Structure 1
Amino acid sequence: MTGGFGVVAALAALRVALPSWVRPAAHMLCQGPHGRLHGGLFAVGLILLAHGLLRRRKVAYWVALLLAGCGILVAGHSILALVLVGCGVLLTVRRAEFPAVPSLGRMRIAAYAGLIVLGTGTFYDGVIQRHDELRVDLGSLVLLSVSVALVVLLAPAAPPPPADGFTRARVRELVQHPASDTLAPFVLRHDKAYVFSPDGRAAVGYRVLLGTAVVGGDPVGDPESFQSAVDTFVATCDRAGWRVSVLAVRGDLEHLWRRHGLRTVGIGDEVVLPVDGFDLSGRAMRNVRQAVQRTHNMGVTTRIVREGDLPGSLRAELAAVSSRWLNGSRERGFSMILDGMLAGTHPDCLLVIAYDGSGRVVGFQRYARCGQALSLDTMRRDRNGPNGLNERMIVDLVTYARAHGISLVSLNFAAFRTLIDAGATRGPVEKAGYKALHLLDPFIQVESLYLFNAKFRPSFVPRGVAFPSLVSLPVVAMAMVGMEFGLGYDRHRPPEPEIPSYLPVMHPIR
């Protein structure tokens, strides 16, 4: 209704014919020499207010209630007054549905912004006082300054700073819960903030961009406390005015978010290898078997070591391989990747290191430990190294996992797997989507990564995204893509260590 009144004010400013029951209000807005400007500015303010009500801002609630009361006094005995009374009653009854309250600092900034606009406009009028046709009246300045203040007040709260070391230590303990999901370790990224369940037994890790709080994966900790952690997180977002969204939510946990009105859409599958069922024999595994055998023929060896146990010389050599692989580009990812590569911030990660026949490091993979599972974090290799290195490191890790009581190895994410697998059964829309995916593959490597994963004949765990509404989808998608592909706003990720040129290369122990 507030948006409708904004449209009426805009039409009145444009001198459009209006129904008789709103003409008195339109005449009141647009009378005088500056009436059309007043009407236009008032329309802008009402539309801003309507957006604030839609986003459930407490400031928008009080301003709308105040405007409804003033409108009733001005409208007198008319249909317009009855409509405004209805608006006021609805607002009063639903006052609990406007939880987003600005901080005192935000209120100060809004007051300063409004005063700056008012002062600048007054100074402008003083400078051009001899040119009446260019001057702006006081009413217009007040409306403009109020609109600017509203923009500041209705904006979502600023993103929270990343969690401190003490908070992250608490989350690390939750990640070690026996029921932890394979994506649980990635909640320990150093750019995330956390919200805990009231009993402290579960937590949600998230980051805010474009007024959207994006959760990476599922809650961590005790599954019995997941729902209360989600409830607390959603309440936190409501108070801050953030949209709630989830990236890589597991299919069987979608109900945690649906009860808060979020929609869920599947976007792909997590690729997992059950250790006990993995076997290189058989025709289906021929490509993997041949790739692994090729590396054996070329004298490639591997070793598996805990990241915290790496000596400095080997750490430098691995960093050199990583730097050459990235070739100047930055790390990408959010929901299924850790940060601080080789920086010592995640010492419990396992590294599978591959050496060529001369003992030179030609590739490595990093895996995060979560309960009885290992999750692939990063794959690095020398671009001129032997073919089949990644297959060899995965196979050797599975052998290590089987010997150490690890039941599951999680590999990459297979985005749009069903679309790629559909083949001849694709409809017109699916064909267009697949063609776009195929053309973009050199840049996003979705199809090629899936084909690599499929060689291992893995199992798949459905993953999706959760978002508030279709209207919010463009903003939510921009926030998710921005985080997942590491845009330039990222300043919190610890940099990879510089590679000292004087450190010697350590040869492997065979």
Structure 2
Amino acid sequence: MTEQGQQRGLRGEWGRLVQAAPTIFFWYTRLSGILSLLAWVSYGLILEIADIWALRWIGYLGWFPSVPIGLLWILLSMGVRRRKKAAWRILVLIFCLPTALGVTAVLTTLFNPDRPTPVGLIVTAAVYLAVLGLLISARGQFTTLPDRGNRRLATVVFTSLLVVTCGIGTFLVTVTDRNSRGDFWTHPLYAISQTVLGPRVTGKPIDVSVPFWVDVILWVLGTGLLIATFWALFRPGRRDPVLSPPEELAARALLAEYGDQDSLGYFALRRDKDVIVAPNGKAAIAYRVEGSVSLASGDPLGDPESWDQAIEAWLGECRAHAWIPGAVSVGERAARIYKRHGFDALELGDEAVVDLTDFNLDGREMRQVRQAVRRVERAGYTVRIRRHSQIPGWEMAKLIRSADAWRGEETERGFSMALGRLGDPTDGRCVMVEAFDAHGELRGL
């Protein structure tokens, strides 16, 4: 193989390693967190685990015998798995400090002829440099868009809880300290160190003597502080589901041309949904984000030949925000297309659509339906059918009050099969069906 070919091969291997970096650092942070928790529980147990060579380097580079630190690693691994930019920045900061210390220690011993340079120190510094270089090279792999709201919330949560926990901790240490010779600054310093690192870790260099239950309380406060802060920082990006006027116009245009393909298509116009349009403008997907899930509603709108483009655009949005994609109430054709994009399909039921052009009550199989219709007719019931645009405003207000009274407080059918509104001026072509008894009283709509 030529030298140029070897260089291309090395670049290819490095490129594959960079692409795998999020997975590598996910497992690194996850295992570091587990080892930190185990080390806090039993240092002897961690020494036995360290005999497994594959975990020795992880333990040497990452774990620390502390419950808060262990939880920090585990929570950080969740952000790494979601490819959060904030998680990448935190990893860089974490590795910069030991890398700088390792390189400084190596350089210090190299320029001191009286002190030999330990091989282990050189290896450690080299490993840190390689890991940091891989992490920096993998910056482009952490593509999840940052959420400024998350950063603001995390800052507020951390600052508020830190003040509260340190205040409570300082009070407890001051009240229970059995060593009265300590300086005034030792109590808040001890409270902060125990809160961040956990019991059994610090305290000996500080002239403080408190009962162990105080350390446990400080540890619980610190653990809650870290969990709340990292939850706020790494929670999925949120978006208020609001159907903007341009989105509604795009959806209505697609429904006007292709709306007869899906009986649930009109429900894409709920105001608590978002609509993403395919690059060619011929298809769109209505969806809503709940927690970490982006849920598409019904079949994609528009030309079926462009559904793939709409799904790709929506999946790109999911990847950008670390949302988990899902779809509900889709038809058979749409389900097959979703499966092409990596989805699993689950059949929930059949759709019943009555074609009025050839529907009738004749035949043996329609006997029960025929009997039910005749009972209603004998009772004197009548039906009135109108478009919403044909109903006067005062009458529509009365119908809305009747609907609210009959429906009660129960949850409606769901965002994929209901509009969640009645009497909206934009729904003028919707159909209102009213049933009256023999005395002309409204009995159902």
The normalised TM-score by structure 2 is 0.69
Deviations 1:138-158 (A, max 9, x none): 445556566644322211112
Residues 25 and 232 (structure 1 numbering): CA distance in 2 closer, same or farther, change over 3 Å?
Answer: closer
CA drift at 1:82 = 8.9
Query: 1:237 matched to which residue of 2?
Result: 318
1:100 to 144, 158, 161: 144
Deviations 1:289-328 (A, max 9, x none): 1111222223322222101211245434533542443244
Q: Structure 1 regions of 5+ residues with no counterpart?
A: 365-510
CA contact (8 A) 2:166 2:191 kept: no
Query: 1:279 matched to which residue of 2?
Result: 360
**Percent identity over paired residues:** 29
- Give me the whole-angstrom Cα distance separating, in 1, the residues matched to 2:421 and 2:72: 46
The normalised TM-score by structure 1 is 0.61
Q: Aligned partner of 1:331: which letter?
A: E
- Give me the whole-angstrom Cα distance separating, in 2, the residues matched to 1:114 and 1:221: 47
2:164 to 102, 120, 126: 120
1:51 to 68, 78, 82: 78
Query: 1:12 matched to which residue of 2?
Result: 39
CA contact (8 A) 1:340 1:346 kept: no
CA drift at 1:362 = 2.2
CA drift at 1:160 = 2.1
- Equivalent runs, 1:309-320 vs 2, <5 Å: 309-320=390-401
CA contact (8 A) 1:318 1:361 kept: no
CA drift at 1:89 = 7.3
Residues 196 and 283 (structure 1 numbering): CA distance in 2 closer, same or farther, change over 3 Å?
Answer: same
| Aligned-partner SS, 2:90 | helix
| Aligned-partner SS, 1:101 | coil
Query: 1:501 matched to which residue of 2?
Result: none
| Aligned-partner SS, 1:200 | coil
Worse-superposed segment, 333-342 or 59-68: 59-68
CA drift at 1:46 = 0.8
CA drift at 1:169 = 2.9
Does residue 268 (structure 1) correspond to residue 312 (structure 2)? The answer is: no
- Give me the whole-angstrom Cα distance separating, in 1, the residues matched to 2:422 and 2:380: 27
CA contact (8 A) 2:32 2:58 kept: no
Larger helix share, 1 or 2? 2
CA drift at 1:132 = 4.4
CA drift at 1:340 = 1.1
Q: Aligned partner of 2:311: which letter?
A: V
Query: 1:469 matched to which residue of 2?
Result: none
1:40 to 67, 70, 90: 67
Q: Aligned partner of 1:6: which letter?
A: G
Relative contact order, CA 8 A, sep 6+: which one is greater? 1
Residues 107 and 328 (structure 1 numbering): CA distance in 2 closer, same or farther, change over 3 Å?
Answer: closer
Deviations 1:384-411 (A, max 9, x none): xxxxxxxxxxxxxxxxxxxxxxxxxxxx
CA contact (8 A) 1:196 1:232 kept: yes
- Give me the whole-angstrom Cα distance separating, in 2, the residues matched to 1:121 and 1:321: 54
- Give me the whole-angstrom Cα distance separating, in 1, the residues matched to 2:69 and 2:145: 23
1:109 to 134, 141, 153: 153
Query: 2:415 matched to which residue of 1?
Result: 334
Does residue 192 (structure 1) correspond to residue 273 (structure 2)? The answer is: yes
CA contact (8 A) 2:79 2:87 kept: yes
Q: Aligned partner of 2:372: which letter?
A: A
Residues 138 and 174 (structure 1 numbering): CA distance in 2 closer, same or farther, change over 3 Å?
Answer: same
CA contact (8 A) 1:317 1:361 kept: no
Worse-superposed segment, 128-137 or 340-349: 128-137
Residues 170 and 267 (structure 1 numbering): CA distance in 2 closer, same or farther, change over 3 Å?
Answer: same
- Give me the whole-angstrom Cα distance separating, in 2, the residues matched to 1:80 and 1:70: 13
Query: 1:298 matched to which residue of 2?
Result: 379
Residues 181 and 77 (structure 1 numbering): CA distance in 2 closer, same or farther, change over 3 Å?
Answer: farther
2:435 to 346, 354, 357: 354
CA contact (8 A) 1:102 1:153 kept: no
Q: Structure 2 regions of 5+ residues with no counterpart?
A: 1-26, 103-119, 179-186, 198-221
- Give me the whole-angstrom Cα distance separating, in 1, the residues matched to 2:350 and 2:134: 44
Structure with max Cα Rg: 2
| Aligned-partner SS, 1:354 | strand
| Aligned-partner SS, 1:234 | helix
Worse-superposed segment, 233-242 or 119-128: 119-128
- Give me the whole-angstrom Cα distance separating, in 2, the residues matched to 1:210 and 1:113: 19
CA contact (8 A) 2:170 2:191 kept: no
Does residue 254 (structure 1) correspond to residue 335 (structure 2)? The answer is: yes
| Aligned-partner SS, 1:269 | coil
- Equivalent runs, 1:13-92 vs 2, <5 Å: 13-16=40-43, 17-18=45-46, 19-20=50-51, 36=65, 39-68=66-95
Residues 147 and 293 (structure 1 numbering): CA distance in 2 closer, same or farther, change over 3 Å?
Answer: closer
CA contact (8 A) 1:207 1:214 kept: yes
| Aligned-partner SS, 1:266 | coil
- Give me the whole-angstrom Cα distance separating, in 1, the residues matched to 2:349 and 2:246: 34
Residues 87 and 261 (structure 1 numbering): CA distance in 2 closer, same or farther, change over 3 Å?
Answer: farther
- Give me the whole-angstrom Cα distance separating, in 2, the residues matched to 1:307 and 1:160: 29
Query: 2:231 matched to which residue of 1?
Result: 151
Residues 98 and 26 (structure 1 numbering): CA distance in 2 closer, same or farther, change over 3 Å?
Answer: closer
Query: 2:249 matched to which residue of 1?
Result: 169
Q: Aligned partner of 1:107: which letter?
A: R
CA RMSD, 1 decimal: 3.4
- Give me the whole-angstrom Cα distance separating, in 1, the residues matched to 2:142 and 2:125: 24
CA drift at 1:81 = 8.2
- Give me the whole-angstrom Cα distance separating, in 2, the residues matched to 1:224 and 1:361: 45
- Give me the whole-angstrom Cα distance separating, in 2, the residues matched to 1:288 and 1:46: 64
CA drift at 1:287 = 0.8
